[in-house]
Structure 1
Amino acid sequence: MTTSQAHVVHAGAAEVVGLPGGGAFTLLTDASATGGALGANRLTLGPGRDGARPHHHALSTELFYVLDGALEFLLGEEAVTVATGGLVVVPPGLVHAFGAAPGTGAELLSVLTPGVERFGYFRQLARIQHGSASFGSLLPEQERYDVHFADAAAWTSPRSSR
Structure 2
Amino acid sequence: MGTQAGALVVQPGEAAGTSLADGAFELLADGGAVSASRLTLATGADGAPPHHHKLSHEVFYVLDGTMLFRLGDTLTTVGKGGFVIIPPGLPHVFGAVKEDGADVYVVLSPGIERFGYFEQLGAISRGEAKFESLIPEQERYDVYFENIPDWRAAR
* TM-score bin (small chain): over 0.9
TM-score using structure 2 length: 0.94
Structure having the higher helix fraction is 1
- Structure 1: how far apart are the matches of 2:132 and 2:40? 24
Residue 72 of structure 1: how far off its partner (Å): 0.2
The one-character-per-residue Cα deviations of 1:86-127 (angstroms, maximum 9, x if unpaired) are 000000000010000012100000000000000000000000
Residue 158 of structure 1: how far off its partner (Å): 4.1
Within a 5 Å distance, the mapping from 1:54-73 to structure 2 comes to 54-73=50-69
Residue 5 of structure 1: how far off its partner (Å): 1.1
Contact 2:56 2:108 (C-alpha < 8 Å) held by counterparts: yes
2:27 matched residue in structure 1: 27
Within a 5 Å distance, the mapping from 1:69-108 to structure 2 comes to 69-108=65-104
Residue 18 of structure 1: how far off its partner (Å): 1.1
Q: Which amino acid is the alignment partner of residue 53 of structure 2?
A: H
- Structure 2: how far apart are the matches of 1:143 and 1:63? 20
Residue 7 of structure 1: how far off its partner (Å): 0.6
Q: Which amino acid is the alignment partner of residue 45 of structure 2?
A: R
Q: Structure 1 vs Structure 2: percent identity of aligned residues?
A: 55
- Structure 2: how far apart are the matches of 1:24 and 1:153? 24
Residue 51 of structure 2 aligns to a residue whose secondary structure is strand
C-alpha RMSD over aligned residues: 1.6
Contact 1:53 1:155 (C-alpha < 8 Å) held by counterparts: no
2:144 matched residue in structure 1: 148
The one-character-per-residue Cα deviations of 1:7-63 (angstroms, maximum 9, x if unpaired) are 111111001211123x100011101xxxx2010000000000000221000000000
- Structure 1: how far apart are the matches of 2:129 and 2:147? 20
1:17 matched residue in structure 2: 18
What are the ranges of 5 or more consecutive residues in structure 1 without an aligned counterpart? none
Paired positions, count: 153
1:137 matched residue in structure 2: 133
What are the ranges of 5 or more consecutive residues in structure 2 without an aligned counterpart? none
Contact 2:64 2:79 (C-alpha < 8 Å) held by counterparts: yes
2:40 matched residue in structure 1: 44
Q: Which amino acid is the alignment partner of residue 25 of structure 2?
A: F
Residue 157 of structure 1: how far off its partner (Å): 3.4
1:6 matched residue in structure 2: 7
